[in-house]
Amino acid sequence: DIIVMGRSIGCCPALRLAASRRVHGLVLVAPFTSARDVFREHLGRLADLVEERFPNAELVGAVTSPVLIVHGKQDTLVPWTHGQALYQACRTRKRLVAPDAMHHNTDLFEDPRYFVLPMLSFFALPDYAFEDLHIPAWAFKKRLPWTKADELLPADSVFGAPGVCAWGSAGSGAIEHVSAQTYRPRWG
């Protein structure tokens, strides 16, 4: 199952896809109701001259998958009321997260309450630890083939997915550290 995600203008293709296909879920971060509505916020009546290409408020009603909307209240580019309006127009299982301190381009991982925790609870994803695991030294005595440093990649090279991973000195194969959020093993 696939969770489709869009942020800002990326919400438009994400919404179109989720409105036309059954997906596991849809995540919209800093979405807008329509391009014309965004222009109206900044240009007033001149927005009426803009041809509408992104009717997100209409599309969200056709989505049948669960929808998570994250929109910061400090967003000055696309006011958070757009996310609120999409939430109200949505007819499926939904959740709106509107952090008080979040701006349009705030790093979603800056605070777990912005994105990570809502994702885990809303979509029932596997649990996630926000602290490094501390393993006693005696547990490092045994050499396992999957602990070699050259078999590990940073999480961002594996689609940013979190996972439990152990790493050691290059070539030694000995585990020196275990992290539950920073790295993930590369599986052959």
Cα–Cα distance for residue pair 20/64, rounded to 1 Å: 9
What is the pTM assigned to this prediction?
A: 0.65
> Cα separation of 153 and 93, whole Å?
36
pLDDT at 54: 83
pLDDT digits (tens, 9 = 90+) for 98-140: 999 999 999 998 898 899 889 888 987 666 555 666 677 766 6
Q: Which of 65-69, 71-75, 132-136 has the lowest mean pLDDT?
A: 132-136
Q: What is the pLDDT of residue 68?
A: 96
Q: What is the pLDDT of residues 17-53, one digit of tens each?
A: 999 999 999 999 999 998 778 778 787 888 777 777 7
Beta partners for residue 106, in sequence order: none
Q: In this predicted structure, which of 53-67, 121-135, 138-152, 160-174 has the lowest mean pLDDT?
A: 160-174
Q: Are 14 and 134 in contact (CB under 8 A)?
A: no
Compute the distance between CA of residue 147 and CA of residue 173 in angstroms, rounded to an integer: 6
Q: DSSP string of 128-165?
A: --SS-----GGGGSS--GGG-GGGEEEGGGGTT----E
Residue range 76-87: average pLDDT?
93
Burial of 87 (0-12, 13-18, 19+ CB in 10 A): buried
Q: Is the pLDDT of residue 151 over 60?
A: no
Instruction: Please tell me the distance from the alpha carbon of residue 111 to that of residue 161, in angstroms, as a whole number.
Output: 17
- For CA atoms 122, 124, 125, 129, the dihedral sign is positive
In angstroms, the CA 133 to CA 104 distance is 33
Which pLDDT tens digit goes with each residue over 98-107?
999 999 999 9
Please work out, in degrees rounded to the nearest 5, the angle formed at the alpha carbon of residue 61 by the alpha carbons of 59 and 66.
Answer: 105
Segment 59-64 shows an average pLDDT of 95
Least confident of 85-99, 100-114, 161-175: 161-175
CA dihedral of 44, 48, 49, 53, whole degrees rounded to 10: 110
Please list the active-site residues: 8, 75, 103
Predicted pLDDT of residue 170: 42
